[in-house]
Amino acid sequence: MFAEVEGERPALDAFLFRLEIEKPPRSFIQSMEFSFLDPVSHRGFEIRESDPGGDKTAIVLADIATCAKCRTEVFTPENRRYRYPFTNCTHCGPRFSIIDALPYDRANTSMRSFAMCDRCRLEYENPGDRRFHAQPNACPDCGPHLELWDPSGAALALRDQALKQAAAEIRAGRIVAVKGLGGFHLMVDARHTEAVARLRSRKHREEKPFALMYPSLRAVEADCEVSPLEKRLLTSAECPIVLLKRLPQVASRASAIADCVAPTTRTWG
């Protein structure tokens, strides 16, 4: 990246000093070189179009788990992104999985098919907004949406209703295949022994453990031992699968995880 900053020498020195300590939360600086040039009377702040020339050496971040601010928007009824599953900002969301070519601009990603609405465009172009130049920026009015299909490919429900109906199908013991950024994610209710066994049979996966998804850290701690380090991993931006030691299960508890989720190990992922 190339940045050109204009001002008095003390302000420029302060900029160089603050660059490392005030950089965006998910960014890192591999190396930095600077030089002092004659002023050219720049006005305001702008991010110019990427130069297609030169070597393509940019590093594209891996996808980042939804940040706390975006989660708050998704669960706030008054917010225009309420229950919108593709909510993201510069601090979170898809990166590597949507890019087709460098440089990392919207036109080079799978989001190029979705033209931003006026409100999303204002966020994208506002340096004071956390969605400033967030390439996957979208909302229910202009971004991708959900569809629920039956086994023959016929649409059963759209948008938020598709999400609700898919959840109902999982609760009923059915297998739901979610087409995500990196392929298909097969989901069943981990408390439903018959559903887990059926998925194992269809995938010819006799013993290999399945991964679990929990709605909160508190819910994880109800079933597993969680050390301070493991807690940090579970709540990190990378949001990885973490192997945790099981707590003794209470068979009568309605939320008890089926033993066949991980039949040969003492841990859950």
Give per-residue pLDDT as tens, 154-197. Answer: 999 999 999 999 999 999 999 999 987 667 899 999 999 999 99
CB-neighbour burial class of residue 23 (10 A; exposed 0-12, middle 13-18, buried 19+): exposed
Residue pair 261/213 in contact (Cβ under 8 Å)? The answer is no
pLDDT in tens, 110-142: 999 999 999 999 999 998 999 999 999 999 999
Which listed CATH number (3.40.50.300, 3.40.50.1860, 3.30.110.120, 2.40.50.110) goes with 210-269? 3.30.110.120
Q: What is the mean pLDDT of residues 5-10?
A: 87
- Domain chopping of the chain, boundaries: 210-269
pLDDT for 4 equals 86
Side-chain half-sphere of 114: how many Cα atoms within 13 Å?
A: 21
| Nearest residue to 125 via CA among 109, 112, 106 | 106
Which of 60-64, 205-209, 245-249 has the lowest average pLDDT? Answer: 60-64
Mean of the per-residue pLDDT values for the chain? Answer: 89
What tokens does 57 get? 């050496």
Give the per-residue pLDDT at 195: 97
Host H or E run for residue 155:
strand 155-158
Start-to-end Cα distance in the chain: 38
Which span out of 8-12, 64-68, 99-103 was modeled with the highest average pLDDT?
64-68
Cis peptide before 10 (omega within 30 of 0): no
